[in-house]
Structure 1
Amino acid sequence: MPAAHVRRRHRLILTVAASIGALLLSSCSVLAPEKNTETSASAEIVGDVPAELKDFYTQPVTWTTCNGGFQCAEVKVPLDYEKPGDDSIKLSAIRLPASGKRLGAMLVNPGGPGGSGVNMVKDGAQTYFSDKLRGAYDVVGFDPRGVQRSAGVKCLDDAQTDAARQQDFDLSTDAGFAAAEAETKKQSELCQKNSGSELAHIDTVSSARDLDILRAIVGDKQLNYMGFSYGTKLGATYAGLFPDRVGKFSLDGAMDPSLDIDGVSMGQAVGFENALRAWAADCLTGTDCPVSGTVDDAMGQIQELNGVYAATPQQTPEGRVVTGTEFTGALAFGMYSTDLWEPLKGALTQAFAGDASGMLMLADFSADRDSSGVYNSNTSAAFTAINCLDYPMNSDTAHMREQAELLKKAAPTFGDLLSYSGLTCKYWPYKATGKPAPISAAGAGPILVIGTTGDPATPYPWAQDLAKQLDSGVLVTWKGEGHTAYGRSNECLTSTVDAYFVDGKVPASGTSC
């Protein structure tokens, strides 16, 4: 989700939760403290680290019993790893202790960028991860730097976010582009005003270095890690920096770290287009489907309705409107899980009948907005902050318009949503520090790379490519629809991953479930 909300405006749609199930469970409930336990890492656990960072690795950390059966803590990390003696920030973490014979801790990241690992574990660990995995590992969630409880990025308040989502600009026109550019500039300035210089260090490489401090804090010589969607990029970055400290690793819904932002946008646009076709094919075989004819006919009907919303945003009974961008975003949200196919069917049925309420509900859910108008996370702001540092973006107008045409041709429904990526960060106060490149992680142990054949947000070819890049990559495939696999696929996939983490059984590369 970008800093500004515009028509034909890039919105990089990487999931903000490991699965829709985890997203449905996420909340902002209080982490109520009960009692304390203090720990600190030994020199043996820490390993060889720069002298100026040793105090961060060996810091005493108080784990407080919270939320009935969980333990919560804050961990100090350098704001700037080039100047670790200057400012520091605190990362929020939560763990569910292993219920059986403990093998170690497993850190998890749900994606985004901007998803809360604290929420994922607090609200979903006991149902999302298998009994076998929870028996052997402490499941540890953390909010990465810039996310929610960990020096969370602040840009817009709730009212400003609502207002931004009500705007839609046609970037194919000079007037529309100028208006969108002005809005982007204003919102970037608000991010700088409300977040300050911390924005310069909300990047994936810094988060990967944070992971190594967290590894020591939880008491492991090697990092055991399960990352979903963007979490695979974070995990692969860690493996590239610290290959000898890679323990059991699962990268699910894999991103290809070698892709630039144009490559990411094209892959996602085609991925969501293919997913909507799969939804339409399924819908047409059932009853009460709001579209008719062939799959091509159905796609045309949805695109025509989307055009109506783009031309004239549709008002809901509560007085809010659904723009063309919100309509397309709601369609995209419905592609994350087959559990959302039926709600999307209902929302589209309403929309074809002239009622935008269902599409607004899906759009709100995607934005983590509740019915009272409160946004329960800072995912949108963190998403922008991280991507603007991770990806050098071309903000030349001619280049962006050329890319927009290519996206529209490749993905008539979703191309507009994923175009004009360079505008998102054109006025960002800090230049990108990331450089997309392949990651080999030479010397690391076997790393599972999991791809779902019908994944819209992280298309299956990305998993194939990452598995090839990693010297020790092991490709595991789930033949299914939706985003990511573990926790929402089948027993074959679950048992394969569990056997790797718990029993040390590395599957054959190319294993398919």
Structure 2
Amino acid sequence: MPNPPRLRAAALTVTALLLSSLMTACGDDSKDEDLTAQKLSWKECPAPSESEGGGNPPSPLPGGTEWQCATLKVPLDWAKPKGETIGIAVIRAKTSGDENKRIGSLVFNFGGPGGSGVATLPAFSKDYEKLRTRYDLVSFDPRGVGRSAGVQCEDDSQLDEYFQEDATPDDTAEQRQLLENTKAFNSACEKNSGGTLPHVRTTDAARDMDLMRHVLGDDKLYYFGISYGTELGGVYAHLFPKRVGRAVFDGVVDPTQNPEQSSLGQAKGFQRALDNFANDCTSKIEPCPIGDTAQDVKDRIAKLLKDLDSDPIPGVFPRQLTQSAATSGIAQALYSKDFWEFLTEGLEQAYEGDGRVLMLLSDSMNGRDENGQYSNLVAANVSINCADDKPRYTTNFVKSKLPQFQAASPLFGDYLAWSLLSCTDWAVAGAANHPDVSAPGAAPILVVGNTGDPATPYEGARKMVDALGKGVGVELTYKGQGHGAYDSKNKCVQGAVNSYLLEGTVPRAGTVCS
């Protein structure tokens, strides 16, 4: 596989339920139009298109509230605010409470980069019913994603081949093939979406979000960011500190790291999650079906991956489960403790020569549905990361770092080290080594870190608090497993978040939930 998407993209494991008829055409000449004066035309949400992941229109909420969809016009190039526009797909569910007690719109970004908020918010809306008592719940497809001028790279058959390739080359020939595959993918992105690629940076999405805030009628942005959504929220706070209302960052990206440091941190985080999975399996009364001890579990997984490198097994017909697909499938299952049972099942089957479950997990990571159709998750993920990230790494650089990555994670180290090549030969220069999230003068932002988080390791929460600046970030720790904390259903975490968003009660800095 030419390089996997940044693993934090897989926070979005739901079936995409986007809106197929939201119009987001580029090329709208709006030189005389004041975009701040636009009114959103809310309509019934139709079924999603193939690029949005397929599926059915979102179901009504409790009490019968229907989802509403609209398109926000924004400049393609924020340096030319009177120039060409694109459309941003937006979805909302109106508040269930007393309109007189309504605070405003609570805007969600669920991560990626590359994840569709229009798809994800309805899928997880039951988790946020308490918040809907005082907010309209709102989310959107960031630019480059889904129907928001969605980036297109390779087609479905090409992507099937792409994800079958070896992502962890063992010799010069395999390294050359990895680079060729990466270049082919990146060239396809330039060919099919070249005009969009310079304009999908996180700073662009943050400016879109501020225009959205204004058009929605709010003086302040009320915000709930998860995973990459914390980076987007931090960039927004940096650009518009005085417009930050009540904001929550959950599953926090370390804003001080460059791509190499971030990937190394993920190697440590996924290894920690694998250790926790192995310990959990072998600490129960009933025998663990995939190993006698925690170390035995990890040794057997390592042997499986080594064997798959030269001898793949049947996966989802007609594809084979390769070493790379198995690795991404295992990583996907570590995003949530709820998936550990599927990981156990998938490993049991793989040891017997059946790779279907691990391949389905891998497909979820890559945005592929059961019909073989891909959303644009991977294309958007690579495009946004490469537009944001200035470093361009070489094969020799990665080879020099392999020992460090392997020490951090015997299982995921190689995989994450070689993923650093994903922006090689990218058509657009990256913006910076890391995002600027300093936000002096902003309102308090609740920053929630999970000690067992594989994709955005716990240490990033403290780094985000420090980077936001004195008096802005307020850290809360959840001693748990999986990616993020609020969706764990932990009453302490949800109580603190709800009290802040609904009542403005800021928890004591350093609060710990377990």
TM-score above 0.5, yes or no:
yes
What is the CA distance between 1:292 and its match in structure 2?
2.2
Count of aligned positions: 482
Counting only pairs closer than 5 Å after superposition, residues 116-135 of structure 1 correspond to structure 2 as 116-125=116-125, 127-129=126-128, 131-135=129-133
Alignment of 1:47-196 (within 5 A): 55-66=34-45, 68=60, 69-101=66-98, 102-125=102-125, 127-129=126-128, 131-168=129-166, 170-196=168-194
Deviations 1:359-405 (A, max 9, x none): 11211222232222122x21100000000011122323221111222
Unaligned runs of 5+ in 1: 34-51
Match of 1:449 among 447, 450, 458: 447
One-letter identity of the residue aligned with 1:27: L
- Residues 343-492 of structure 1 mapped to structure 2, 5 A cutoff: 343-375=342-374, 377-437=375-435, 439-471=437-469, 472-492=472-492
Instruction: Say if 1:478 and 1:489, in contact at 8 Å, map to a contact too.
Output: no
**Residue identity in the other structure for 1:12:** R
Is the Cα contact below 8 Å between 2:9 and 2:381 reproduced in 1? no
The one-letter amino acid of 1:492's match is C
Letter in 1 for 2:325: E
CA–CA distance in structure 1, aligned partners of residues 75 and 34 of structure 2: 10
Residue 187 of structure 1 and its aligned partner are, at CA, apart by 1.2
User: 2 CA distance for matches of 1:324 and 1:334?
Assistant: 16
C-alpha contact 2:96 2:134 (8 A) present in aligned 1:
yes
Within the alignment, does 1:14 sit opposite 2:2 as a pair? no
- Structure 1 residue 171: Cα displacement: 2.8
Change (3 A) 1:65 1:27: closer
- Cα distance, 1:419 vs. partner? 1.0
Give the residue type in structure 2 aligned to 1:14: R
Aligned to 1:44: none
SS of residue in 2 equivalent to 1:91? strand
Task: Write the distance in 2 (CA, Å) between the matches of 1:151 and 1:317.
Answer: 31
8 Å contact from structure 1 (residues 266, 407) kept in 2: yes
State the match for 2:28 in structure 1. none
- Contact 1:326/1:360 (8 A) holds in 2: yes
Residue 278 of structure 1 is aligned with which of 272, 276, 279? 276
- 1:242 is aligned to 240
- The residue type equivalent to 1:55 in the other structure is D
Query: How many Å separate the matches in 2 of 1:439 and 1:371?
Result: 39
Normalization by structure 2: what TM-score? 0.90
Kindly indicate whether the alpha-carbon contact (under 8 Å) linking 1:92 and 1:149 is maintained by their aligned counterparts in 2: yes
Q: Is the deviation greater in 281-290 or in 472-481?
A: 281-290
Kindly provide the amino acid, as one letter, of the partner of residue 13 in structure 1. L
Tell me the SS of whatever aligns to 1:487. Answer: helix
Deviation at 1:31, TM superposition (A): 6.8
Matched with 2:499 is: 499
Alpha-carbon separation, structure 2, partners of 1:263 and 1:16: 19
* Contact 2:453-2:482 at 8 Å conserved across structures: yes
- After superposition, the Cα gap between the structure-2 partners of 1:240 and 1:135, relative to the gap in structure 1 and judged at 3 Å, is same
Corresponding residue SS for 1:395: coil
Q: Which residue of 2 aligns with 1:293?
A: 292
- State percent identity of aligned pairs: 39
| TM-score with structure 1 setting the length | 0.90
Equivalent residue letter for 1:24: V
Structure-2 separation of matches of 1:437 and 1:71: 33
* SS at structure 2 position matched to 1:451: strand
Shift of 1:170: 4.6
| Separation in 2, partners of 1:460, 1:32 | 37
State which drifts further: 315-324 or 259-268. 315-324
The whole-number CA distance in structure 1 between the counterparts of 2:307 and 2:466 is 44
Instruction: Say if 1:31 and 1:72, in contact at 8 Å, map to a contact too.
Output: no
Per-residue deviation, 1:11: 4.3
Distance 1:236 1:128, change over 3 A: same
Q: Please give the residue correspondences for 1:175-254 in structure 2 after superposition, counting only pairs within 5 Å.
A: 175-254=173-252
Q: Secondary structure at the match of 1:420?
A: helix
How far did residue 421 of structure 1 move?
3.8
CA distance in 2, matches of 1:265, 1:240: 24
Give the Cα separation in 1 of the matches to 2:33 and 2:495.
38
Partner of 1:27: 17
